[in-house]
Amino acid sequence: MKTNLWEKYSDEKEKAVKEFCDDYKKFLSECKTERECIRYAVSEAEKNGFKSLKDLIEKNKKLKAGDKVYAVNMDKAMILFVVGKQPIEKGINIVGSHIDSPRLDLKAKPLYESQGFCMLDTHYYGGIKKYQWTAQPLAMHGVVVRKDGTKEDIVFGEGNDAVLAITDLLPHLERDDRKDIKGEDLNVLAGNIADQEAKKSQFKNYILNILKKKGIAEEDFYSAEIEIVPAGPARDCGIDESMIIGYGHDDRVCAYTGLQAIFETEKPEFSVMKLLVDKEEIGSVGATGMHSKYFENAIAEIMNLAGQYNELALRRALNKSNMLSSDVTAAVDPNYVSPFNVETDAHFAKGINFNKFTGARGKSGANDANPEFIAQLRDCFDKEEVVYQFTEMGKVDQGGGGTIAYIMAKHGMNVIDAGVPVLNMHAPWEIVSKVDVYETYRAYKAFYKMPINN
């Protein structure tokens, strides 16, 4: 086993880790939905000199080397691009992560009554262990869009707010396995006061009256996107404070580290891009997922404004690019060692993690990173003294998983999975190591300077 990074780091570097992770915790605490992540990224991008692609197109502004551009897709996905000195068709160094996380979504008709309670009906999103979402404080984040197009952003359950909760049966009355909680059991307690004026549905009406004061009618939930997420901030974890526990490290930890890396990339030799995508947890589908043509179209627009667009040049740009599919992996868990091969799997405090293959069983559904590309990355990271580990996820035939890597590889570009090891992945509260977060940020920064010779 390589040295634990905490032993390797100087006092000065430990201070840098702490500062970086304090900012990361703030981001993670405030950005619990895709839209909240995009709002953060747009505001930080503008502070760092990025211009809106939409505005540039409208004003027909030309782009030159060193210019910084961002484009937002339906408020749930985004690209950030810095034009390189070399023509874009020579390739782009891309870091791509997803900003959707497992959660419970409110149904389109969420409000109902049961046993003198007003309840909210949910349908979970992504791979969750259902029992983990019961008996703990929950918050509600999202947006309601009215027929007239006006929007109401909703954040309820944070700071000093009241919180929401999903009940679980007491052990005294439990006969079956507690883990046998069904999707339809995940109903949120919304209230318990009756509206005396209402002729029927008194408990539901009491809640509807509260919503009415915010200008929200029951039918407005048809055009809403409301996510039930764990309430409260990300926090330091461990007596030594070496870790961070928070909601949605998968994959906002890679989104955040990649964003900081591109913000610090000035006048690169080859163009660089940061991708923030939605829907990875449910197969990268839809207009905002990685399968969408949106990202190719945005590159075409950027090449056009740089005076470099034609269909062949676009295809060459995609074909010659390098990509870090920046997504988390599972770290060896001291409580559950048996699903892991401790020799070949990822460990905390050993740096950014690379997976040549993801997938399941005989590598089904995987992306395969080319060894020529991997060799180039090793050279790049060794020169910058980035600490990394090359691993698999769990024992052979134990399970598996995928990322957006194989989708980008379809363009013929070099792609490898690269991200932060996580404990409790997909639980309401996930855990990462602070030094791995910092080393991942350093790796993305080094990658953005790497020459492309594909």
Binding Mn ion (rule: CB under 5 A), the pick from 67, 100, 327, 436 is 327
Helices (H), 177-248: 202-213
- Whichever of 145 and 282 has its CB closer to Mn ion, that residue is 282
Residue nearest to Mn ion (CB): 251
In angstroms, the CA 420 to CA 325 distance is: 11
- Whichever of 89 and 251 has its CB closer to Mn ion, that residue is 251
Interface region with Mn ion, contact rule CB under 5 A, candidates 155-163, 206-214, 245-253, 368-376 = 245-253
Q: Which helix (H) or strand (E) holds 16?
A: helix 11-30
CB 249, min distance to Mn ion, A: 9
Q: Which two tokens stand for residue 247?
A: 């909601």
What count of other Cβ atoms lies within 10 Å of the Cβ of residue 23? Answer: 11
Strand ranges, E, within 66-150? 68-73, 77-82, 92-98, 103-114, 117-125, 138-145
Is residue 411 within 8 A of residue 275, CB to CB? The reply is no
Please give the size of the binding site for Mn ion, defined by CB under 5 A: 3
Interface region with Mn ion, contact rule CB under 5 A, candidates 17-25, 29-37, 256-264, 322-330 = 322-330
CB 393, min distance to Mn ion, A: 11
CB 422, min distance to Mn ion, A: 9
Query: Does the footprint of Mn ion cover residue 100 (CB under 5 A)?
Result: no
Query: Does the footprint of Mn ion cover residue 250 (CB under 5 A)?
Result: yes
- Whichever of 271 and 424 has its CB closer to Mn ion, that residue is 424
348: left (phi over 0), alpha (psi -120 to 50) or beta: beta
Q: Which residue has the tokens 């600490």?
A: 387
Binding Mn ion (rule: CB under 5 A), the pick from 251, 392, 436, 439 is 251
What count of other Cβ atoms lies within 10 Å of the Cβ of residue 281? Answer: 19
CB 372, min distance to Mn ion, A: 26
DSSP letters of 391-449?
A: -BSSSTTT-EE--SHHHHHTTT-EEEEEE-EEBSTTSSSEEEEHHHHHHHHHHHHHHTT
Query: Does the footprint of Mn ion cover residue 278 (CB under 5 A)?
Result: no
Interface region with Mn ion, contact rule CB under 5 A, candidates 28-36, 110-118, 320-328, 344-352 = 320-328
CB 278, min distance to Mn ion, A: 12
Interface region with Mn ion, contact rule CB under 5 A, candidates 176-184, 251-259, 288-296, 353-361 = 251-259
- Whichever of 205 and 284 has its CB closer to Mn ion, that residue is 284
CB 126, min distance to Mn ion, A: 7
Is residue 303 within 8 A of residue 313, CB to CB? The reply is yes
Burial of 280 (0-12, 13-18, 19+ CB in 10 A): buried
CB 331, min distance to Mn ion, A: 14
Which residues of this protein are in contact with Mn ion, per CB under 5 A?
250-251, 327
